[in-house]
């Protein structure tokens, strides 16, 4: 028996390769399937099954492309409703993978079709459970993603999750390995730990949700403090239910070099977004006017999905050689209208003498010195609402970066203001500055190091918490 976790840090997502006696299975594959195919080829194995723990909302699955490439059967748990060519398993149904078996454990709660997959080894012993978004290390899946279409409330789903965990997961032996679908940073939970695997016994002792003594207590603790899910979640869930064009088709259309003249012509069209994926510290030094900055060096796909519309054409400015990576990572969260990239990148643009824009970077101590003396100074904190509530500069205004594509979020900002923008460390603030510039607000300063740096010199700032938001 061979098990390999294939972890993608940008999305905090774990796919799994399982193999026994030359037969393989993949659990929760991403849209770019080359790694799975290469691993099976290297091990001279045949991929027989693709197991999906649920209709994912945070990424587009590779189930269809992988099934087309291998002939594997796509398996969902009970209550999966789709017109795609999949096998909907029964609760308790078992699938042979060489000398081991996978048993389907229907565990509704995160979604109605959510299921875990129990791996039974060659001796008939429960070895590991692949929990998808039902149980994480230190957390459970959020129960607020499926209620609208099914007229089921968040509390209803949380109650289902309690029953699922108590009847199907907690009863497993303490030594059974837990392989979750996500790690820290994922928006599919609210308190995910840094580990990407554990055991049932460890989770029963340390997971706050499993420590709840009653169903009512469980519902309360898992539903309180939930932030709004990213805008792309329902879009990705729909794509996974209804299908998509192949990644090869997207790449063929998107990997088109555009001359400066062609790039400018496309950029001037309505409904076209220029996306610059260079690292934030490079972007601020100079960029094509009107570009949106989302650097590949951060949680790129997640922030793209949280900010960029899906119905508009995207053209790219990347570091030369990063074009394909950019397209694949956009496709992972459902972007398909990508129609070329600036040939030669920003350096070619600059060498041609084209107009460019910049963002002024300032140190946190410069902001501290300016606060008492500048009546036109405005501080924009673009962290999430819960981050802001947990501590912020007293004078700051909270506009989460995920809301800033909408011009209405910045109606109270004036050109006369001296606007200082910060996030936690500097990645999101550059995104925010690029969005503000795109909307005609230019007197802005990006605070290097963000909130992290400010806390290091907290004696220079007046800091407060927002109790009513925390409660």
Kindly state whether residues 448 and 336 are assigned to the same domain.
Answer: no
Neighbours of 232 (CB within 10 A): 26
When divided into structural domains, the chain yields a total of 3
Helices 300-307 and 323-331, interaxial angle, to 10°?
A: 60
Spell out where 253-347 has E strands: 257-258, 272-276, 292-293, 313-317, 338-342
* C-alpha angle 11-400-277 in degrees, rounded to nearest 5: 50
| Final residue before a domain boundary, out of 212, 234, 256 | 234
The pLDDT, as a whole number, for residue 471 is: 39
Task: Calculate the alpha carbon distances from 280 to 165, 171, 314, 326, 385 in Å.
Answer: 42, 47, 19, 15, 23
Instruction: State the Cα–Cα distance between residues 43 and 357, nearest whole angstrom.
Output: 51
Kindly state whether residues 222 and 366 are assigned to the same domain.
Answer: no
Per the CB < 8 A criterion, the answer to whether 319 and 342 are in contact is no
93 occurs within a structural domain: yes
On the question of pLDDT at 468 being above 70, the answer is no
The pLDDT, as a whole number, for residue 312 is: 95
Neighbours of 270 (CB within 10 A): 6
306 occurs within a structural domain: yes
334 occurs within a structural domain: yes
Task: Calculate the alpha carbon distances from 185 to 49, 78, 468 in Å.
Answer: 29, 29, 25
- Classify 234 as helix, strand or coil: helix
The pLDDT, as a whole number, for residue 469 is: 45
Strands 177-180 and 198-199: antiparallel
Kindly state whether residues 344 and 420 are assigned to the same domain.
Answer: no
124 occurs within a structural domain: yes
Instruction: State the Cα–Cα distance between residues 82 and 66, nearest whole angstrom.
Output: 18
On the question of pLDDT at 363 being above 80, the answer is yes
Could you tell me which residues are beta bridge partners of residue 338?
314
Spell out where 414-464 has E strands: 418-422, 444-447, 463-464
Task: Give the residue from 64, 65, 68 showing the smallest Cα distance to 76.
Answer: 64
Kindly state whether residues 344 and 388 are assigned to the same domain.
Answer: no
Neighbours of 318 (CB within 10 A): 20
The pair of three-digit structure tokens given for residue 278, joined into one six-digit string: 């260079």
The phi, psi pair for 2, rounded to 5°, reads -130, 130
Whichever domain contains 205, its CATH number is: 3.60.15.10
240 occurs within a structural domain: no
Kindly state whether residues 189 and 267 are assigned to the same domain.
Answer: no
Q: Which residue has the tokens 């290469």?
A: 38
Kindly state whether residues 35 and 86 are assigned to the same domain.
Answer: yes
* pTM score over 0.75: yes
Kindly state whether residues 169 and 296 are assigned to the same domain.
Answer: no
| Final residue before a domain boundary, out of 199, 234, 269 | 234
* C-alpha angle 432-438-441 in degrees, rounded to nearest 5: 80
The pair of three-digit structure tokens given for residue 455, joined into one six-digit string: 């806390």
The pLDDT, as a whole number, for residue 104 is: 98
Instruction: State the Cα–Cα distance between residues 284 and 447, nearest whole angstrom.
Output: 11
pLDDT tens digits, one per residue of 180-214: 999 988 888 887 888 999 999 999 999 999 999 99
Kindly state whether residues 34 and 159 are assigned to the same domain.
Answer: yes
Whichever domain contains 365, its CATH number is: 3.40.250.10
On the question of pLDDT at 435 being above 90, the answer is yes
pLDDT tens digits, one per residue of 8-40: 998 999 999 999 999 999 999 999 999 999 999
Instruction: State the Cα–Cα distance between residues 53 and 50, nearest whole angstrom.
Output: 10
Task: Give the residue from 410, 399, 396 showing the smallest Cα distance to 442.
Answer: 410
Contacts of 211 (CB under 8 A, 6+ apart): none
The pLDDT, as a whole number, for residue 147 is: 52
Instruction: State the Cα–Cα distance between residues 280 and 295, nearest whole angstrom.
Output: 6
The pLDDT, as a whole number, for residue 227 is: 83
Instruction: State the Cα–Cα distance between residues 445 and 363, nearest whole angstrom.
Output: 10
| Final residue before a domain boundary, out of 183, 204, 234 | 234
Contacts of 270 (CB under 8 A, 6+ apart): none
On the question of pLDDT at 407 being above 90, the answer is no
Kindly state whether residues 342 and 419 are assigned to the same domain.
Answer: no
* C-alpha angle 209-210-215 in degrees, rounded to nearest 5: 80
Query: Quick one: CA dihedral 168, 170, 174, 180, positive or negative?
Result: positive
The phi, psi pair for 413, rounded to 5°, reads -90, 135
On the question of pLDDT at 62 being above 80, the answer is yes
pLDDT tens digits, one per residue of 111-146: 999 999 999 999 999 999 999 999 999 999 999 987
How much of the chain exceeds pLDDT 90, in percent? 88
- Classify 6 as helix, strand or coil: strand
Task: Calculate the alpha carbon distances from 47 to 1, 21, 102, 371, 415 in Å.
Answer: 14, 12, 14, 61, 59
pLDDT tens digits, one per residue of 332-351: 999 999 999 999 999 999 99
111 occurs within a structural domain: yes
Domain that holds residue 114: 2-234
Kindly state whether residues 321 and 409 are assigned to the same domain.
Answer: no
284 occurs within a structural domain: yes
pLDDT tens digits, one per residue of 249-279: 999 999 999 999 999 999 999 889 999 999 9
239 occurs within a structural domain: no
Kindly state whether residues 337 and 367 are assigned to the same domain.
Answer: no
Buried b (16+ CB within 10 A) or exposed e, 440-456: ebeebbbbbbbbebbee
Kindly state whether residues 273 and 322 are assigned to the same domain.
Answer: yes
């Amino acid at each position: 028996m061979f098990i390999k976790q294939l972890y993608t840090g940008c999305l905090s997502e774990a796919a799994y390769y399982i193999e026994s006696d030359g037969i393989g299975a993949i659990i929760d594959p991403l849209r770019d399937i080359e790694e799975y195919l290469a691993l099976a080829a290297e091990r001279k194995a045949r991929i027989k099954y693709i197991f999906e723990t649920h209709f994912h909302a945070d990424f587009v699955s590779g189930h269809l492309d992988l099934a087309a490439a291998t002939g594997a059967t796509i398996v969902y748990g009970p209550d999966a409703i789709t017109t795609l060519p999949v096998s909907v398993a029964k609760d308790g149904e078992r699938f042979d993978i060489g000398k081991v078996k996978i048993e389907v454990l229907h565990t509704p709660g995160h979604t109605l079709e959510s299921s875990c997959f129990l791996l039974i080894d060659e001796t008939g012993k429960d070895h590991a459970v692949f929990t998808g978004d039902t149980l994480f290390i230190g957390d459970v899946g959020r129960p607020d993603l499926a209620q609208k279409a099914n007229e089921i409330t968040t509390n209803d789903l949380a109650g289902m999750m309690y029953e699922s965990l108590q009847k199907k997961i907690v009863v497993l032996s303490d030594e059974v390995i837990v392989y979750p679908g996500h790690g820290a940073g994922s928006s599919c939970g609210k308190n995910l730990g840094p580990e990407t695997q554990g055991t049932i016994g460890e989770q029963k002792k340390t997971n706050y949700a499993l420590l709840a003594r009653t169903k009512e207590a469980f519902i309360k603790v898992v539903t309180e403090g939930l932030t709004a899910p990213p805008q792309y979640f329902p879009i990705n869930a729909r794509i996974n239910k209804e299908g998509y064009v192949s990644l090869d088709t997207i790449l063929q259309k998107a990997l088109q070099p555009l001359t400066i003249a062609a790039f400018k012509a496309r950029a001037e069209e309505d409904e076209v977004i220029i996306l610059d994926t260079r690292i934030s510290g490079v972007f601020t030094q100079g960029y094509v006017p009107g570009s949106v900055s989302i650097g590949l060096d951060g949680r790129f796909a997640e922030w793209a999905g949280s900010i960029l519309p899906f119905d508009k054409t995207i053209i790219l400015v990347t570091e030369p050689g990063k074009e394909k990576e950019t397209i694949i990572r956009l496709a992972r969260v459902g972007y398909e209208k990508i129609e070329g990239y600036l040939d030669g990148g920003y350096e070619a643009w600059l060498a041609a003498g084209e107009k460019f824009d910049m963002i002024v970077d300032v140190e946190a101590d410069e902001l501290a010195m300016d606060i008492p003396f500048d009546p036109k100074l405005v501080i924009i904190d673009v962290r999430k609402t819960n981050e802001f509530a947990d501590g912020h500069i007293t004078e700051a205004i909270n506009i989460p970066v995920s809301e800033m594509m909408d011009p209405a979020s910045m109606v109270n900002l004036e050109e006369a203001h001296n606007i200082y923008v910060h996030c936690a460390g500097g990645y999101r603030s550059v995104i925010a500055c690029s969005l503000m510039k795109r909307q005609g607000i230019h007197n802005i300063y990006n605070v290097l190091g963000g909130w992290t740096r400010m806390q290091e010199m907290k004696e220079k700032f007046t800091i407060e918490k927002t109790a009513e938001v925390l409660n």
